[in-house]
Structure 1
């Protein structure tokens, strides 16, 4: 037992020594990662790696990305010394890492001496990309009455340098604006660091300024810093800031014309009439004027009189004093009383409709807000009715998103509002509400509530068509066209990618943009292929979709050549062969029948119908049977029927 125990310990020690030697040899040929600065100025070729150990019995070779795979000719090795060289600058935004394999060979025999060495060349980022705005010029219409705060002007920038480093992280600010008031600033959009919204403090005056030009800067935090600018043009649209005014302080409403007769010369001061109201107009509700063309008295209403019946006494005289000659003498000192007439005026009260403070109300909300949001509470007047007795009705609510309180007119959301709904036009959803009084007959006032919906990134991109035809005999690519229901900056440009397992068969070019092309890297056999794609919008919202590609020989644009149809028509030769076969079969049957009938030793073969089931042949169990000829005839007939 002691001997056995010592042998086991020796064996364990030997295994440990072998393991340490193996680890040492393995570590000798394993490198981790070699760092290389992007766009290194040179000179080239430059030494990438030097082991500084020479061995005249071995030589070195490398393969992989940058050597035997694209981009070709980037790296090389001195097969005697093992020094690895890089031959040109590398852009990290194109290639950020390379995987290279070493082979150690015997110089004489080219036999593998040691295990393959693998290492990565990682390209270190340099701040060589400035933040870029998309788009670089933005034009937005802003209503004059917009309350101070965030505007519907969203700016987005992107830096192609390494993600989550100072080289790609940037800030935005307003550099200048014209005119100088109100003051514009930048505010963060919730959930993203690369998108900002333009905000302002103060108010707009369309009569003073109808357009603003704002210059915005995006500056990264790299060394040295890099920046770019974008221009935002704000077009101010007019709003109701001036109340209407009458050209005259009163606008009389004509209710009666009073004609007169005057025998003096027409159109002279002696014939032109001057009217006045002697009685019944103590409150100044009426007035009377002379029509200069017809010399009629025109009675008009100056203001509403709630009295049902008013009696007016109207007098008329001439512009000149009245002159009378009586009995050859001129009458002086006395002025005759003017001619008068009485007019009874009945004022009928008409039920005036309720009047909203504004006939069109504008409301601003972001889409996907929770139900229960109060959009609008009306301010209303009614000259004839009690506003507390008004009732409210929804007249237009195309997607059933809101409800109205029938007593207060308060409009509240009952569903989530989606900006991508087909009922939203140009980013607005329109609701129309009526206010109805209790008059006889009831009168109705109308208010239109326009809800401006701000966009959110709530829709992932998807393929417009999931089927494509690749004409293998003509082209090796198909167009890939995605769509995103969101608006800028939550839609294109998109980022496209494939799974690692497909990169030997397919590639996407370009990998960013509004659309791309799927390109086959090899000559594919005709057939159906399912290609899973990943599509990402500007904000990083990603969707996976599958493009069904048919590779075939085409006869036209995206039209595969169909199979040749199977013919159902027989030619003369085929028909002749068919009849010859039938005649041969009939001849064989007849030959068998004759041979069987000539046999003298005919034996009746009993059939067990219980075991065999239903048969066509009839079983004859009569003792003695019958004549041989008759039996043969019967059996032959039945056999003929069976066949």
Structure 2
């Protein structure tokens, strides 16, 4: 029957209703349930699917430190994990509630539930003293009461001690006395006078009964010895003493003095004090009483968190025979002192956070605790100022650590968040806890080149497949987001895709040539290189690589005048025998397609029929007589002129000039060019001398140069001069005469001389004079007759002079007929007679 009753009580508590209070789920179960017993369907009550229990890693966190419960992941039920002893958890507290925290991850969430532990009548009442001895004088008056020991029951409520019984006897009865805390204390009441001679010892059995079902009991044997007269009991000043102590009170501190008097005399009136026989060791280890004076001192340490109050029974006993004693109660209340630092407990480990996480993203869950009470237990948490994290309070000192600002992994890949917990005590105590938070990378940085533009200098005629340059870009991101690949953006170089010129290694950014380059065809081009990371979406940036082709001396000088020599045939020149020393016979002009020193040209006579008769200017290529022609000189002279550049290695070419000496051939009226070339004259004076000289040639030439002079005077404000000379001869109307272009560079005036007529005459010429002070000059050739031969000469000149544009105008029609080469070019002649490039001369 006892087992049936116990099972009925168990099922009664098991099916006790559970309720949700203020949004919190609460269950009620009896104590001492077997391991595996079901508390409630947690998944259903929290509105969770069974799959979420596993996927979101549902777990139970207990604030008590003991894991009394667990979750059956298959059924979603909260089950008992360990033995639950209500008395061990809550002692004599009327209510015993275990708070639990249900933690869900992905995303983080926290639910609070409470499990109320119902008391089972599993403890019997017990007396601390199993055998109690009392000494009562035979003179004790009827109605005298003797306080007996109360029984203790670890259970609470209806399961605690409810009544006492005493075995039947003639002299004593049992009464209950109510004390201030609501407890009932049994008292032994003398009903009849004692007679030691009749019965010196009385044996009684005191039984304590609880209110459980079934009823449990405990007994104590009482032995009463009847003594002779000591008929006055000690009397206390107070029946109840009450004092308060700070929990940090030092040892040996005086607590209180208990006072009692006895009306008897002699040994019967001498009183000694002691703690009651039922005083537990927890009190005896902390307090001590002087048996003679009744002074109580502190001999141990106080801890409010262990015991907030002490209720002590004090006994005063005289030295009479028989001894007489009385009792009083001492209550010592402990005042809490802020002696416990707050504690920060992580409910959930911190999760990695993406650097683009939105503000308010939960990082971790934590709880603040303080073992003190009142204001001393109120805890405030804070994070450092300027931190991109903040604390969001939840309930019961639970907090969520959330993001509160933008994150940048490249600046701070990891945060060690120092959280400070401070209580409200005086003085306040605090503790700190560092929570590490890792920031995961997001592809938010494009690759960055070491330079926005790169200049690469490459010699022409290089080996195909050789490396030109290596570009490099870095990415501040991490992992795949920081892996950079390189490519060349499609563009055109001379109407051809740049990919046909170069290619790039996508891994290391090395740029290689696809073939060799020719400076004369391509001097500079640019490459657009793109660096792209492997993120999603990928980011990229561009850089420009300027490739400059450096000239090599790979072109021999090309003869452009005499034109016949330029065409590969022998050049024939005629001169009179009356020519004096210094007579200009002809001028050999050559150009080099290279640039710089590679294009500097020098002339010398390699072979001559008579080496003493002719000389060639080293820099201008002018062939002049070294002496006057004599009658003994052969009428046919042959010169082999070598033309060399200044490159390394030297490139050279030769031209053969055949000179025929004839009688009666007229010399030019004036070697105007030679006079004009004096470097010491001013530009304006040279122009004036030129106009005066041309005026003597003919009326037509005079009119022509007068018009030109007016034009030059009008443009004198821009510090430029322009002059044209044309000399007529009797052969002017010949449409088939050959055109010869002669470049003259001696002196400060640079000009190109166009000679017309047959090979024996220099009577017709066109000269364009360009002042070195002029920033821009127009170069115009005016053709008096046919354009056929001149076009051929121009084509040779254009092929030899890179980057120039020639304009040819004919006076035979009503409007000029321009002939342009494909590319604009610039031409200059230095003081040494070399051709090169200068920005202050344009030839159109």
Structure with bigger RCO (C-alpha 8 Å, 6+ apart): 1
Same fold, TM-score > 0.5, yes or no? no
TM category, shorter: 0.3 to 0.5
TM-score (ref. length: structure 1): 0.35
